Amino acid sequence: MMDLFSQIEEPEREELLALRKELEEANYKYYVLNMPTLSDREFDEKMHRLQDLEAMFPDMFDPKSPTQHVGSDLDKGQRTKDKGQNGKAFETVKHKYPMLSLANSYSREEIEDWARKLPAGVEIVCELKYDGLSISLWYENGQLVRALTRGDGQQGDDVIANIKTIPSIPRHVVGTPSSFEMRGEVLLPWERFEALNKEREEQEEPLFANPRNAASGTLKLQDPREVARRGLDAYLYYMLGEDLPGTTHYERLQTAKQWGFHISDAIKVCHSVDEVMAYIAYWDTERKNLPVATDGIVLKVNDLQTQEELGYTAKTPRWAIAYKFPAEKQLTLLKEITYQVGRTGVVTPVANLEPVQLSGTMVQRATLHNEDFIRQLDIRPGDRVWVEKGGEIIPKIVAREKTKDRPADSKPLSTLSEAVYSFPTLCPECGAKLVRVEGEAAWRCPNEAGCPPQIKGKIEHFVSRKAMDIEGLGEETIDLLYRQGLLHNIADIYDLRLEDIAAQERLGEKSAQNILDGIEASKNVPWSRVLFALGIRMVGETTAKKIAKQYNTIDALQWATAEQLTAIEDVGPQIAENIVRYFEDMRNLEILERLRKAGVQMEGEAAEEPQSDKLAGMSIVISGTFSHHSRDEYKALIEAHGGKNVGSVSKKTSFILAGENMGPEKLKKAESLGIKLMSEEEFLQLISE
Ligand code: IVH
């Protein structure tokens, strides 16, 4: 214990731990939720800092650190509407060759640094860096047999049914070696992306921030027909396997093109950094005319023998590097600063701009982040500012143009006593006095129960997919119902009548009925998700699950003390305090009582007891499709009888629960290891004996 404390006293060690956490979270938001929170550049800068800190403190090495592995898109089996209840939609399969990432560079100097480490005179292939998600395609005897996402780099999800909907990916090829792998990028073309977002807007569904997120969300859908409708495309850029033709990367790609693969025409063999820079300069502008998103270029050593000699680090090849295009920036006039109150009460300063064209769209509002940001950059109305659109949907101000043409009468954001121009002290929506929590950059409106955006935000959160999942009740409808006084808090949802909803503009009886059905169905949502849906500050999905497991009823939770709560994993003093405060507020207690009366689940089911220990100690792989039960049900049955369901076949596998059309790789592996295949009938027989 002593040791740990003395370590943590050094601020850099704390910074290291905080960075690991932040980058892990950013990876999760990027790869799993498809909602990026950091720009690539910010991410890389933080990653570099973490690498430096880890070099400073070798004793803090951790193989789980984000510096040691690539981000993961693996489907962890959370329930979403696209999957079955608690279902894992795709089979997770180990990659034959790990899927690595690329080191990034942002300047000529960084490219030169990389090139210096290569043998003199090597050829460098320049390619476009397509901004989609990587895919690994396996061909056996000319047939496409597997299509894996990158996953965590070691294993990925098999999304072959969805990949087969992409017209530019061949399902059969001829004249190829008997087995090989092609890697490439799956993309949603700009045109399709815009059409999809327009459609989602009309249906009040959340928009995708960029084509990459849209492609990623699409590839993980459960319905291949919907995937086909969205119109994905793919470019291939890497061939792997044994006894492949050619001695250079370039040759191989040209061969792949002859086999029928979609290979970009923008590939160039370069002989100097000058030539590379010319390629970059050309494509930095020309890429705007391409049908798909690109975010940089990739440089690869052409000669395959040299590639092999250069080898790999834990995360990236040494024979390749990415160069990232700078995010597009524009200079424009800051006309006025207004303030926007978010769903959680945070007040964000917004720059109202002279409209300017940026990455294909007209921008007239951008975030100024917070008070400190404005002060540090001394930004004032009338200034000329740089606005940038990164990977996020909301543009941001990144700098002030420091020329002399600032209006003579402009004043810095001052304190109130100077009374010239200051950050508001009162909420612009409801007039409550704003508070600034110590250690946070944001000013917040504390009037949770009376401030319109916060009221609506709480309701939106409550009905969202991961919470009560009430379909049809979108942002606009909530706004309409709120303004008519029909919806003021989450409990009001359960008092809505058909005629209230059907009377709304744009909402006919049919959609009204749909909403009512959704509300009815939400009464079956389990207690742990109800707890998450309540929107207690900092109680996220995972924390809610952990709390609900410990406190099986809301009554038990209501009487828990902060001290008792902090005994739960993941619950720190701040979260505990938020929970205690939530239950101290009479208004919340009233709402909870109304929810209970409406039939919302306020208690968990008793934990399921194992039904037997017939499968105790066994590791069982499920493969193929079944007729008596779903895969998920079989998984539950295995667990209920004391067994463990594992993803891949190994020596330790006890048997394979084999359905129809079992994967060929698994079959081969099972045969070679002599592992028994069991039919579903045999399995059901075994557990019922
Ligand atoms: S080569 C071992 N080539 O960029 C290296 N990757 O940031 C394999 N990407 O995971 C990657 N265009 O998803 C390569 N022309 C290209 C690419 C490309 C896009 C993606 C790929 C990779 C990521 C790394």
Indicate which residue's Cα is closest to atom 9 of ligand 1: 129
250 lines ligand 1 (CB under 6 A): no
Indicate which residue's Cα is closest to atom 22 of ligand 1: 101
In 3D space, the residue among 108, 124, 438 whose CA is nearest the CA of residue 269 turns out to be 124
In 3D space, the residue among 309, 328, 327, 295 whose CA is nearest the CA of residue 102 turns out to be 295
238 lines ligand 1 (CB under 6 A): yes
237 lines ligand 1 (CB under 6 A): yes
State the distance from the centre of ligand 1 to the C-alpha of 67, rounded, in angstroms. Answer: 18
Q: How far apart are CA 340 and CA 337, in angstroms?
A: 10
Which of these is catalytic: 46, 83, 129, 389?
129
626 lines ligand 1 (CB under 6 A): no
Residue 178: CB atoms within 10 A of its CB come to 11
Among 8-17, 50-59, 163-172, 191-200, the minimum mean pLDDT is found in: 8-17
Q: Ligand 1, residue 264: give the atom nearest the CA.
A: 15
Residue 64: CB atoms within 10 A of its CB come to 8
In 3D space, the residue among 651, 654, 655, 657 whose CA is nearest the CA of residue 637 turns out to be 657
Assess contact for 622 and 635: CB atoms under 8 A.
Answer: yes
Tell whether the model's pLDDT for residue 347 goes beyond 90: yes
Q: How far apart are CA 632 and CA 21, in angstroms?
A: 31
Tell whether the model's pLDDT for residue 193 goes beyond 60: yes
Residue 180: CB atoms within 10 A of its CB come to 21
Q: How far apart are CA 385 and CA 402, in angstroms?
A: 9
Residue 97: CB atoms within 10 A of its CB come to 11
Among 472-481, 505-514, 615-624, the minimum mean pLDDT is found in: 505-514
Which residue type sits at 625? T
- Per-residue confidence band for 386, with pLDDT thresholds at 50, 70 and 90: very high
Q: How far apart are CA 643 and CA 683, in angstroms?
A: 12
- Per-residue confidence band for 392, with pLDDT thresholds at 50, 70 and 90: low
Q: How far apart are CA 326 and CA 106, in angstroms?
A: 7
Tell whether the model's pLDDT for residue 493 goes beyond 50: yes
31 φ, ψ (degrees, to nearest 5)? -85, -30
Q: SS3 for 337?
A: strand
Assess contact for 179 and 140: CB atoms under 8 A.
Answer: yes
In 3D space, the residue among 631, 617, 587, 601 whose CA is nearest the CA of residue 526 turns out to be 601
Assess contact for 482 and 488: CB atoms under 8 A.
Answer: yes
In 3D space, the residue among 516, 461, 515 whose CA is nearest the CA of residue 490 turns out to be 461
Beta strand 644-646 pairing with 619-623: parallel
268's enclosing H/E stretch is strand 268-270
- Paired residues of 139 in beta bridges: 144, 180
Assess contact for 91 and 623: CB atoms under 8 A.
Answer: yes
Name which residue leads in pLDDT, 413 or 59. 59
**pLDDT for res 610:** 64
Q: How far apart are CA 402 and CA 112, in angstroms?
A: 31
Among 56-60, 270-274, 330-334, 535-539, the minimum mean pLDDT is found in: 56-60
**pLDDT for res 203:** 76
> Mean of the pLDDT values across residues 385-413?
78
Indicate which residue's Cα is closest to atom 21 of ligand 1: 134
- Enter the DSSP assignment of 434: P
Q: How far apart are CA 29 and CA 406, in angstroms?
A: 39
Q: How far is CA 281 from the centre of its chain?
A: 31
Tell whether the model's pLDDT for residue 413 goes beyond 80: no
134 lines ligand 1 (CB under 6 A): yes
Assess contact for 525 and 517: CB atoms under 8 A.
Answer: no
320 lines ligand 1 (CB under 6 A): yes
- Per-residue confidence band for 283, with pLDDT thresholds at 50, 70 and 90: very high
**pLDDT for res 62:** 82
236 φ, ψ (degrees, to nearest 5)? -105, 145
By most ligand atoms within 8 Å of CB, the mutation choice from 130, 262, 304 for ligand 1 is 130
Assess contact for 474 and 402: CB atoms under 8 A.
Answer: no
Q: Where are the beta strands (DSSP E) in 83-132?
A: 92-94, 104-105, 124-130
Q: How far apart are CA 392 and CA 289, in angstroms?
A: 21
Which two structure tokens, joined as six digits, stand for 301?
Answer: 């050593």
State the distance from the centre of ligand 1 to the C-alpha of 99, rounded, in angstroms. Answer: 10
Residue with tokens 């006593």: 417
Tell whether the model's pLDDT for residue 471 goes beyond 90: no
129 lines ligand 1 (CB under 6 A): yes
Indicate which residue's Cα is closest to atom 16 of ligand 1: 129
Name which residue leads in pLDDT, 265 or 637. 265
Beta strand 179-187 pairing with 155-157: unpaired
By most ligand atoms within 8 Å of CB, the mutation choice from 185, 269, 301 for ligand 1 is 185
Task: Give the gyration radius of the chain's Cα atoms.
Answer: 28
Q: Where are the beta strands (DSSP E) in 150-245?
A: 155-157, 179-187, 233-240
Residue with tokens 């950094």: 273
Tell whether the model's pLDDT for residue 121 goes beyond 70: yes
- Per-residue confidence band for 88, with pLDDT thresholds at 50, 70 and 90: low
State the distance from the centre of ligand 1 to the C-alpha of 243, rounded, in angstroms. Answer: 23
Among 34-48, 72-86, 115-129, 203-217, the minimum mean pLDDT is found in: 72-86
- Paired residues of 184 in beta bridges: 135, 236
Q: How far apart are CA 546 and CA 531, in angstroms?
A: 11
336 φ, ψ (degrees, to nearest 5)? -160, 150
State the distance from the centre of ligand 1 to the C-alpha of 260, rounded, in angstroms. Answer: 20
Tell whether the model's pLDDT for residue 34 goes beyond 70: no
Residue with tokens 């039904």: 611
In 3D space, the residue among 315, 310, 296 whose CA is nearest the CA of residue 118 turns out to be 310
Q: How far apart are CA 490 and CA 502, in angstroms?
A: 19
pTM exceeds 0.75: no
127 lines ligand 1 (CB under 6 A): yes
Assess contact for 406 and 382: CB atoms under 8 A.
Answer: yes
Assess contact for 544 and 468: CB atoms under 8 A.
Answer: no
129 carries an active-site annotation: yes
Residue with tokens 């919470």: 467
In 3D space, the residue among 382, 351, 349, 381 whose CA is nearest the CA of residue 365 turns out to be 351
State the distance from the centre of ligand 1 to the C-alpha of 131, rounded, in angstroms. Answer: 9
State the distance from the centre of ligand 1 to the C-alpha of 571, rounded, in angstroms. Answer: 39
Which two structure tokens, joined as six digits, stand for 76?
Answer: 């962890």
Helix axis angle, 108-116 to 273-286, nearest 10°: 140
